[in-house]
Every structure is written in structure tokens, then in C-alpha cells.
Structure 1
Amino acid sequence: MSRSTRLLALALLAPAACGRAPAPAEGRVEFDLRHTKQAGGQAVARWSGDAVTAEELARRFEEMSPALRERYVAPQARREYVESMARFDLLVRDAVARGLHEDPEVVEATRRALVNRLMRAQLEEAPATVTDAEVAEAYAARRDDFVRPEAARVSHVFLAAPRSDAVKAASARQRAEDLLVRARALPPGDFAGFGQLAREHSEEPRTAPLDGDLRFLTDEALAKTYGPEVAAAVRELTTDGALSGVVRTDAGFHVLKLRTRRAALNLSLDDVREELRVRLEGEKRSRAWAGYLARLEKQLSLAVDPDALARVPLDVGAPMRKPSGPLPGTVPAP
């Protein structure tokens, strides 16, 4: 049998990516697609240059679930299974004979499969042992993720009016009452409508551009930042979308709308030990993958020419052209 009928040659950079020297035809690597890569074994189905052996078939059956194996107890079903395996390889052989192994789509799919398999191998081989001390250290460093008080996310419209300015306070209160009427006319879940009121009327420069959103704040943080009156009013809001009345503080008047509440957390180290261990193992493997890529780039002298890159034309307004081939692969995230 000729070498060309049993070997698939693809234009790939895989030898370099694996740290080996390129094949004589630079940038090409050969794959042996036969079932019987080694001599020996009893053939149960045979075709030109290849076969399915009894040993391979027995291994395939062992890899099946018991329920699936039952399908192939009958001789006819077993024969159909073997014939299907053989016909699949006949199709592969014919595809190679037609030159489809050099089709850009096939080449790119093979390149992606190689990179994905290489990544799995690297991540599986990466040392990822996590000690109890490391878990405890991570828990201490990320304690806020596991232990935190209840918090509320509130939006507000604020009108500035210090208590010392009675005239301004009277005007601001009336405006706040009018805004409260408009807010109550909105459906409880209409946070966009309330946000528009905040953008147009709130005099709090930090939150007005954010639709009046205060983000998540604890009761203590609300009292410290906006006054105990605001914290007390928020405690009275029990359902998402609920509105306060006009709330007076030393700085002015607030109309408050509860977006949602976040429950308190109090998870001990034992509660999250396994979660943290898995997370730390993943982080170690990600660092190992980044180190591997850095070593590979250095080994193969990866370089980017910023001047040449900047000269590549890129017209965001140009019409889209018909693709000339599959998109090139990029390194997937680990």
C-alpha cells in the first residue's frame, strides 16, 4: 500500500507548538489514520491496507455501558456495527484520495482540535496541589465573599436643601412631593422611568448619571453616607420597586426606590473549603498555562511588528466581503 493512501499530511505548525523540530517538509505533520497501526491481531473486517481486529472490537465493547452492549449480542447487530466502523474508514480514505484533507476548513478544524487537545494535556499535567494552609489563606483574603451583612440596592432622587435655608427647603420639599407623585404613577418595576426622573432632576452629582442608583449598601453605609433618616426609610421598604415618602436629611430631600435586597452571608471556612480548593486549583492551572505559553513564545521567537501591524488597512465602514476561508484560530481561555 502506498504511503499517500495511509498517511494524512496537513500544513500545520503543530511540531513547533509541541517543542519538536519541523518535519522535512517544513510546517507539515503526518497522521496515520489506519486502525491497525501495528501488526498482529485477528481481523474481523478487512479492506485494502487496513482492518478492524477482534482485540480493538473487544476494547470498544468494554468501553460501552452494559445497556449499550446488549444491542450487539445478536450476530446481525454486531456485524452491522463492524461494517459501520469499516465504512466510516472507507469514507475517510476516499476523502483523502480526493484531496479534501487539504481543504482550508478541514485544516483549520484539525488545527483547532490539536490546540484544544494540547491545552487539555497541559492543564491536566500542570501541578495543582492545594494545601489546607493555602485554602485558609484564600478564605481570609476573600472573606468579604463569604461573610457580609444584608445590603439593599436603592435608587434615589435628591434635592439639595440645607436645614439652615428655610426658603430653599420649602421650595425643594414641594418639588420633591411633585416628583414623588410622578414616581408613584410609574409601575413598581419601572426602574428605567424612575432613573429618568433621577437623571433629569436629582442634584446628587455622583448618582444622577447612574439613574440615581446607589448600588448595594448596608444599613450602616446608608446611614453614614446619606444620613440615618435614609437608612431608616430603606428599612421600611420590604418589596422590590417600593417607594419611600419624601425623606428629609440635613443635606436635603430624598425620594427612594428599592431595587432589591441582598441577603446576609455567614459562611465558615469549612462551608467553602472545597469550593475554594477547586477555585485555587483552577487558578494554579491557569498560571501554569500562561507560563507555558510564555516559554513557547520565547522558544519559537514570537515577535509582533507594531509598525507593520499599524499599517494594515482597517475600514470599519467598508462592506463585508465574502469569507475567503475559515477564521483563524486564537488561543482559547483555560
Structure 2
Amino acid sequence: MSPVSRFLSLALLALVGCERGPAPGHAVVDFRHTREPVKTPVAAWKADGVSAEELKQRLEEMSPALRERYQTLEQKREYVEGVARFELLVQEAIARGLHDDPEVVASTKRALVSRLMRSQLDEARPPVSDAEVAAWYDSHQEDYVRPEQVRLSHVFLAAPKADAARGEAARVKAEKLLAEAKALPPKDFTAFGRLARAHSEEPRTQPLDGDLRYRSLEELGRDFGPEVAEAARGLVASGPGALSGVVRTEAGLHVLQLTGHQAALNLTLEDVREQISNRLAQEKRTRAWAELLAGLEQRAGFSVDAATLSRVHVDVSTPMRPPSGPPPGTIPAPTPSAPPPSVSLERP
């Protein structure tokens, strides 16, 4: 083949390669500062530069306080020189082949994935209808409308009112247990729980260290007697850790400790419309992200060889090696949604 034919063949191959685009995993990136011809340059270098229009726009994007730093010619020169020197450093790094450095490639990959996420999830944000918001509100009423609730622990001694002798013996023991409870640190719920586990005679709550869980005052009255509900109402003002006296009910005697309190909630749909809408939008974002990942895996023919993977030994006893390069990228998760309104619990 003659030199001319060889040259034409190579040129044709290059042209075909350009038409087909870069190979998978490769990309052509334009690192110039300005991709259009600079019409009114205030600074120029190697077919690139900063235009007066760009400088004006950049300055207007600054806060008024920051703009005060660029009033004189020398101050503006300093800013423009900083921009130009940065771009010249970029070009020098490219000339030295640093754009293919693993650390640079890893940082670029992370920036690309972050930009893809914004494009996929933020710029194509799925709408949330009023009907969807109302349906969520209706199906989660307990998050938005609920009565006042208290959490109690108790030591219960069985002593029906009809059994006077047993009732007197139980009262003496209950007074002694109340004195022991008062000697404990006010918010040492664990210590009170040990007291309940050792002495309580209520079979449902004794294994739970006397914990009654959160209940409304109505539920307390129904399940343990109106006297317990009334005592709980009186403890709320003193806060968690407060102790009742000995409370007599039809079934027996209680020593109560308040461990938590939740104020009543009565939030209407309008009160929480924006919050619910944001939550549903976030759920749609999360689903869209998962669908994108699944589609990419399917189109790429992604698979995992479980047999080979299982043979990769992980030895936790060997010392840590120096890094051989930047760590591989990991999949970012969409920003988590805000939780529904709730009152913090004083006791876990």
C-alpha cells in the first residue's frame, strides 16, 4: 500500500470512529473555559478567554457585600487573573495526562453520578396529586390525630376490695415498695422496672418490668380502672419519673411511675398537606432511582457469579494495606424523606 493510500485509509478509519462515538467507558470532554468564541474579551489565552459579559454575570451572581471587593480595576484584574490561572492549570494538567489519573477519573465518576441523579430525580420530579395526599392522610390518621397518651410502669399487688385482710397486707407491702421507689433516682426507669419484675403480681406486665406502654387515659381507665387513669392525669404535670401514691382499684393496689407523655394531636389535612406531599414525592424519587438502576443492570447484562464470589476470602486478622488507588464509587441514595409529625418519647 502506498503512503498516500495508507494515509487515506487511516483518515477514513478515524472518521468512522468519530461517527460511531467513543467506545463504552470512554468519553470526549471539552475542558475549555468558554465553548463559544469570546466576543469582547477582558482576558484571553490560547483560543479561550473571559468575556466582559461573563464577568458582569459572575459579579452579579455574587452577594452585594462580596461585590464590594471588585470595584477598582486592580481588584477586577485580580479576579480575572485568578479565573485564567485556574484554567491554565487545568490545561497543563491535561497536557501532562492527569485527566486519566485514577484519582481524577474516580472524582469525575462521582460528579457524573451526582449530576445524573439531579437530572433523573430533581429535574424530572414526579407530581403528587391532591388525591394521593388525601389518601395517605386517611390511611395514617394515627400519625396526625390521637388523644393524649401516657406511659406508665407499675407494681401491682392483687387484693380485691372484698377481701379486707388481704387488702391490708397488700397495703403494707405497697407502702414499703413505694418507699423503696422514692429512694431510687427519679428517672432510673430500669431500677423501678427491677422492682416491678421482683414484686408485681400483674401477669401481663410483670415480665415487661411493669411497663404499660403508651395508652390514652380512656384506655387506662378501661384496662386498669378509673383510679389509675386519674392518678396518671395527676402525674403529667410533674413529668417523667414522677411517682403516685398507693392507688387502690377494685382489683388491687398500684404503685405508678410516669415514664413518658405524648400531648394530644389534632392535625388537619391542610396542616400537613405539604409535609405529606414532600414525603410522597420522596417515595416516588426513590422508586424512580431503583427503576433506573434495575434498567441499567438489565441493559448491561449485569450478573453476579455467586460461586466465585463466595470463594473470595476476607481475612479480618491481616493488617491494613496501603491503598492501591481511589476506592470504587458507591450508589448514592435519594435524600430521605421527613418523618411524620410526632412527639419525642422520654423513654426508649
What CA distance in whole angstroms lies between the structure 2 residues aligned with 1:150 and 1:288? 39
> 1:189: which partner in 2?
187
Residue aligning to 2:149: 151
Deviation, structure 1 residue 294 = 2.3
1:306 is the counterpart of 2:306: yes
**More displaced 10-residue stretch of structure 1: 235-244 or 316-325:** 316-325
8 Å CA contact retained: 2:38, 2:50: no
- Ranges in structure 1 where 5+ consecutive residues have no aligned partner: 1-20
Kindly provide the amino acid, as one letter, of the partner of residue 22 in structure 2.
A
**AA at the equivalent of 2:270:** D
* 2:37–2:48 CA contact under 8 A, matched in 1: no
Match in the other structure for 1:131: 129
Change in CA separation of 1:202 and 1:328 when aligned onto 2, cut-off 3 Å: farther
Q: Quick one: distance in 1 between partners of 2:204 and 2:329?
A: 43
Distance 2:156 2:22 in 1: 72
Q: Which residue does the alignment assign to 2:342?
A: none
1:186: how far off? Answer: 1.9
Query: Is this contact kept in 2: 1:128–1:285, CA < 8 A?
Result: yes
Indicate the SS of the match to 2:328: coil
Identity of aligned residues (%): 59
Inter-partner Cα distance in structure 1 for 2:256 and 2:206: 13
**2:90 corresponds to:** 92
How far apart in 2 are the matches of 1:104 and 1:208? 62
What SS does the aligned partner of 2:42 have? strand
Query: For residues 217 and 56 of structure 1, do their structure 2 counterparts lie closer, same or farther at Cα, with a shift above 3 Å needed?
Result: same
- Please report how far the alpha carbon of residue 295 of structure 1 lies from its aligned counterpart in structure 2 after TM superposition: 1.9
Aligned mates of 1:104, 1:160 — CA distance in 2: 74
Cα deviation, 1:121-173, whole Å, max 9, x if unaligned, reads: 11124352223222222221222221111011222334566778888776665
Deviation at 1:234, TM superposition (A): 1.1
Aligned mates of 2:111, 2:152 — CA distance in 1: 48
Structure 2 distance, partners of 1:159, 1:105, is 70
Question: What is the RMSD of the two structures over their aligned residues, measured on CA atoms?
Answer: 3.2
Displacement of 1:269: 1.9
Which residue of structure 2 lines up, in the alignment, with residue 8 of structure 1?
Answer: none
1:4 corresponds to? none
Q: Which moved more, 1:272-281 or 1:117-126?
A: 272-281
2:74 to 60, 73, 76: 76
CA distance in 2, matches of 1:318, 1:251: 64
Counterpart among 196, 215, 218 of residue 217 in structure 1: 215
The C-alpha deviation readout for 1:275-296, integer Å capped at 9, x for no partner, is: 2223222222332222222222
Q: 1:79 to 1:222 in 2, by over 3 A?
A: same
1:79 deviates by 0.4
Residue in structure 2 matching 1:114, options 112, 115, 121 = 112
Structure 2 counterpart of 1:57:
55
CA distance in structure 1 between the aligned counterparts of 2:324 and 2:171, rounded to whole angstroms = 66
Deviation of 1:191 after TM superposition, in Å, equals 2.5
The equivalent of 1:23 in structure 2 is 22
Q: Which runs of 5+ in 2 are unaligned?
A: 1-19, 335-348
TM-score (norm: length of structure 1): 0.79
CA distance in 1, matches of 2:322, 2:206: 46
For the pair shown, the structure with the greater C-alpha radius of gyration is 2
CA distance in 2, matches of 1:99, 1:116: 25
